[in-house]
Structure 1
Amino acid sequence: MATVVMEQIGRLFINAQQLRQIPQLLESAFPTLPCTVKVNDVPWVFRESHIFTGYRPPDQNWRYYFLTLFQRHNETVNVWTHLLASLIILVKFQEVSETVDFLRDPHAQPLFIVLLSAFTYLAFSALAHLLSSKSELSHYTFYFLDYVGVAVYQYGSALAHFYYVVEEEWHARVRGLFLPAAAFLAWLSCAGCCYGKYASPRLPKFAHKLFQVVPSGLAYCLDISPVLHRIYSCHRQGCTDQAVTYHCYQVVFFLVSAYFFAYPHPERWFPGCCDFIGQGHQIFHVFLVLCTLVQIEAVRLDYGERRPLYERLHGDLAHDAVALFIFTACCSALTAYYVRKRVRAHLEEKAE
């Protein structure tokens, strides 16, 4: 009996030793990362207004920046908000695909596009905030990629709103212009953001913001018009459509997010106190994610409940709309690539 007890104690002792080795194993798998640095220790392009600490040092290897996904720095919240949201979109896509035949139902293609475009902008944004600190060229490259994602999502949203949400009265007014104008404004938004980023060292801060906000604002005014008309029509008729409720939330969440994108509050009120959490851009991310999620739920409801209307209004439009989506994405990507070449040439000239 005593021998058995001693054997059990010996096994427990060995297991305890193994447990003590776990932190060492984790440390070898995830090496100690360099500490974050202050604003004066990074080049100008990485600096954010009223954010003084939490910057990641540039010129590290790629592994370091991927591992900073688990480090506390001033971009951590921005990365995780859109990374988690992109995973939620994938789960939502899986749920929708169980009841919707994306391959055989042409009227489901706009729903597929808005899901794809939502995932694209969220994933590209997460990559931009995670990897842009490696170098100045990487900073521009990944944010240009982010702007391509935004343009893709703008057109995807416009298509879903026009296809599923629009009322017959508004459709009669804009049917010949809506999608081409939405595609052009989505590209213009990407081009404006890319140029504003490229020229930002030579522009006042407000001018840089104008290049980002004005084209995106024009695109939003067009893209959301079917939704606003639907809300107005529903209110006038006294309807109780659940999808309209979601659309109302979508508009409110977007307007809140737009405010925090345009105005860097609360860090402007409390400089240095929001370096890691509480930045206006983080709040912008959260409300934009909420906007996207309720938008997709509203569009999903409209896809299921308004089929007789959109089949009659649009006919075979879905195939042309998909082609225009691909064209918009390609034009935006080529524009971003061209501006990146200009940035690279400028940086090489500056290095000489």
Structure 2
Amino acid sequence: MSGYRHPRSSATDCVLSLFQMTNETLNIWTHFLPTWYFLWKLLSVVLLYSAWRDSYTWPLLIYLISICLYPLASTCAHTFSSMSARARHIGFFWDYGALSFYSLGSAVAYSHYAFPDRWIDSPFHRYFLPIAMGNSILCTGLACSSRFPESPRPRFSNALRMLAFAYPYLFDSIPLFYRVRPSRCLCCTNSSTNVLHVYHIGLAFLTGFLFDYIGHSHQLFHVCAILGSHTQMQALEEDMRMRRPWLLEKFPPVTFSSSVGPALLCLLISVSIICLFSSGAPRTRRATPREANHLHLTF
């Protein structure tokens, strides 16, 4: 009932609201602080593995870049969403684009490090990344389009947005679902990393369950998303290290066209989609200084 920022706040007011108790304070800090942690992790991996010389680490770097971008984009969207309706739309367009890039970054890393032993170089493995690229682009388009029917049809808008993010995640995670399934078969990947993958999957489903449906649970949604990404990161790095000799023997080496190229292409297309939707976002007249002061005093 209280603690909401003014819907026509200035950029300065939005930044200052980070240090006030508002409805967005936890949404902002629960993604702003992890951004710096993930950035530190990205830099440490670059230095630890000498990534500029070792193409095998490129998929991990793409993934780490994606988990730096999505909490940063979310932080900016939640921080400046109260400037205007147009600013809110555009901010969350970039948030959705970052999430779609995160889904692709996960797929690139899964393709090179996490596939079950018996699926390596199978038809599904060969087509996994191209399909994930299409899913990432589709995710951006669907999520952005979900904002336009938000006021007249909020349930349809939420369902469309959930579909935009749930479908790419479920597809990307097919190799993990196979790996962690209850089985006594020794012909599939069997390693301690599977426990981390189970934790990540559990947190991912909890994230979806909490998505604005239980009370004001968006903050809990943010927390579970970050914890899930952290566990996912640990699992992928362990898979990369433990399975390296076997993967280098059984699977073609990592190339630009199988890692960096798809990521750059999808990023370019997603940015184009975001710019297209941003051009159609509703425009509002900027308040004069006198109007802004009046609105601030009467809020």
TM-score (norm 1): 0.76
Aligned residues: 282
| Structure 1 unaligned spans of 5+ | 1-51, 268-278
Once the two structures are TM-superposed, the CA of residue 319 in structure 1 deviates from its matched residue by 1.0
CA distance in 2 between counterparts of 1:87 and 1:105 reads: 25
1:330 and 2:268 matched:
yes
Once the two structures are TM-superposed, the CA of residue 187 in structure 1 deviates from its matched residue by 1.2
Deviations 1:188-239 (A, max 9, x none): 111111000123223x222101211113222111111111122238764398
- What residue is the counterpart of 2:233 in the other structure? 296
Q: Give the alignment partner of residue 206 of structure 2, picking from 222, 240, 256.
A: 256
Look up the equivalent residue of 2:147 and give its one-letter code.
Answer: K
CA distance in 1 between counterparts of 2:28 and 2:148 reads: 22
- What residue is the counterpart of 1:342 in the other structure? 280
Look up the equivalent residue of 1:154 and give its one-letter code.
Answer: S
CA distance in 2 between counterparts of 1:257 and 1:175 reads: 27
Larger radius of gyration: 1
- What is the DSSP-based 3-state SS (H/G/I as helix, E as strand, rest coil) of the residue aligned with 1:199? coil
User: Does the 8 Å contact 2:149/2:156 carry over to 1?
Assistant: no
- What is the DSSP-based 3-state SS (H/G/I as helix, E as strand, rest coil) of the residue aligned with 1:207? helix
User: Does the 8 Å contact 2:90/2:278 carry over to 1?
Assistant: yes
- What residue is the counterpart of 2:103 in the other structure? 154
Look up the equivalent residue of 1:340 and give its one-letter code.
Answer: S
- What residue is the counterpart of 1:306 in the other structure? 243
TM-score (norm 2): 0.88
1:220 and 2:169 matched:
yes
1:119 and 2:68 matched:
yes
Look up the equivalent residue of 2:135 and give its one-letter code.
Answer: L
Identity of aligned residues (%): 25
CA distance in 1 between counterparts of 2:210 and 2:276 reads: 30
CA distance in 1 between counterparts of 2:185 and 2:209 reads: 29
Of 312-321 and 166-175, more deviation after overlay is shown by: 312-321
Deviations 1:110-132 (A, max 9, x none): 00001000000010011111111
User: Does the 8 Å contact 1:186/1:328 carry over to 2?
Assistant: yes
- What residue is the counterpart of 1:192 in the other structure? 142
CA distance in 2 between counterparts of 1:333 and 1:315 reads: 31
Look up the equivalent residue of 1:326 and give its one-letter code.
Answer: L
Deviations 1:157-215 (A, max 9, x none): 1111111010232231412321111011111111111000123223x222101211113
Look up the equivalent residue of 2:221 and give its one-letter code.
Answer: F
- What residue is the counterpart of 1:211 in the other structure? 160
Once the two structures are TM-superposed, the CA of residue 88 in structure 1 deviates from its matched residue by 1.4
CA distance in 2 between counterparts of 1:198 and 1:119 reads: 27
Look up the equivalent residue of 1:327 and give its one-letter code.
Answer: L
Look up the equivalent residue of 2:273 and give its one-letter code.
Answer: T
- What residue is the counterpart of 1:24 in the other structure? none
User: Does the 8 Å contact 1:168/1:313 carry over to 2?
Assistant: no
Q: Give the alignment partner of residue 81 of structure 1, picking from 30, 34, 55.
A: 30
CA distance in 2 between counterparts of 1:67 and 1:236 reads: 57
CA distance in 2 between counterparts of 1:313 and 1:219 reads: 27
